[in-house]
Amino acid sequence: MLSPVVALDSAHRVQTFECGDAEIDGFLHPRAAGEQALGLSQVYVTAGAAHEVLAYFTLSPLTVRVDPSLLERLAVGAVPYPQIGGFLLGRLGVDKSIQRRGIGEALVMRAAQIAKAEAAVVGGAFLAVDPKTDGLVRWYLKQDFRSLGGKTRRMVLPLRAVP
Ligand SMILES: CC(C)(COP(=O)(O)OP(=O)(O)OC[C@H]1O[C@@H](n2cnc3c(N)ncnc32)[C@H](O)[C@@H]1OP(=O)(O)O)[C@@H](O)C(=O)NCCC(=O)NCCS
C-alpha cells in the first residue's frame, strides 16, 4: 500500500530506494533532502508502510527561451517576452519492486497537477521534462508531452491541458 504523494521529510527512509538508474538513486540517497532545504527543488515521494520511499519526483521553477517551436507546442500565439516560465519535472523514479504497474504514469499526472496548482498562484505555462532516452520520449508522448525538437530531448506539457 502506497502513501499519498507528499513532500520528502525526515521520517522517510531513502536508503533502500532503487529504480535502476544510478543517478536517480544517487540523488535521493545523499542529496535530495539537502537540495530541498536549499529550495533548489521540491522532492515529492510516495512511501510504503515503513516510510520507505518507493517512488519520487522533483519539481522546480524553469524559465525557457521563447521560440516558434515552444509557442506552437503550447498553442500560444506571439508573446512579448524573450522567456516564459513553467516548471521542470527534474527527476522521476519508481522502485524496481513496483515498476510497470502504472505508478510512473500516475506520478507524472500528479506532478502536472501540482505544477498547475502552483501556476494558479505564480503563473506558469508548461511542465517540462528532459527524457534520458528515445524510449522514454515515447513514454512521455503517450502522456501528451510534446517534443520541442532541436538538440535536446526536452518535451513540454501545456498546463492548460491538465485536468
Ligand atoms: C521510467 C519509470 C519512472 C516508469 O515507471 P513505471 O511505474 O514502471 O511506469 P508505468 O508502469 O507507468 O509505465 C510502464 C511503461 O513505461 C515505459 N518504460 C518504463 N521504463 C522505460 C524505459 N527505460 N524506456 C522506455 N520506456 C520505459 C514502458 O512503456 C512501460 O510499459 P511496458 O511495461 O508495457 O513496457 C521507471 O521505469 C523508472 O524509475 N526508471 C528508472 C529511472 C528513469 O529512467 N526515470 C525517468 C527519467 S526521464
DSSP string, 38-75: HTS-EEEEEE-TTSBEEEEEEEEEEEEE--HHHHHHTT
Residue 125 has pLDDT above 90, yes or no: yes
Distance CA 112, CA 86 (A): 11
Confidence of residue 30 (pLDDT cuts 50, 70, 90): confident
pLDDT band at 1 (very low <50, low <70, confident <90, very high): confident
- Tell me the per-residue pLDDT of 63-119, one tens digit each, with 9 for 90 and over: 999 999 999 999 999 999 999 999 999 999 999 999 999 999 999 999 999 999 999
C-alpha 115/C-alpha 92 separation (Å) is 15
- With a pLDDT cut of 70, the percent of the chain lying above it is 100
- Give the mean model confidence (pLDDT) for residues 106-133: 98
Domains of the chain: 6-161 (3.40.630.30)
136 or 149, higher pLDDT:
136
Distance (Å) from CA 37 to ligand 1 centroid: 28
Q: In what order do the strands lie in the sheet with 53-65?
A: 6-7, 42-47, 53-65, 83-94, 126-129, 155-158, 146-147
Q: Is 125 in the pocket of ligand 1 (CB under 6 A)?
A: no
Share of the chain above pLDDT 90, in %: 96
Q: What is the pLDDT, as a whole number, of residue 51?
A: 97
Category of 43 on φ-ψ map: left (φ > 0), alpha (ψ -120 to 50) or beta: beta
| 25 CA to centre of ligand 1 in angstroms | 15
In sequence order, the 6+-apart residues with CB closer than 8 A to the CB of 72 are none
What is the atom index within ligand 1 of the atom nearest the CA of 135?
25
C-alpha cell at 92: 522521476
CA dist 45 and 57 (Å) reads 7
Distance (Å) from CA 77 to ligand 1 centroid = 34
Question: Which backbone phi and psi does 161 adopt, to 5 degrees?
Answer: -85, -5
CA atoms of 131 and 91, how far apart (whole Å) = 9
pTM of the full predicted structure? 0.95
Q: Are 61 and 20 in contact (CB under 8 A)?
A: no
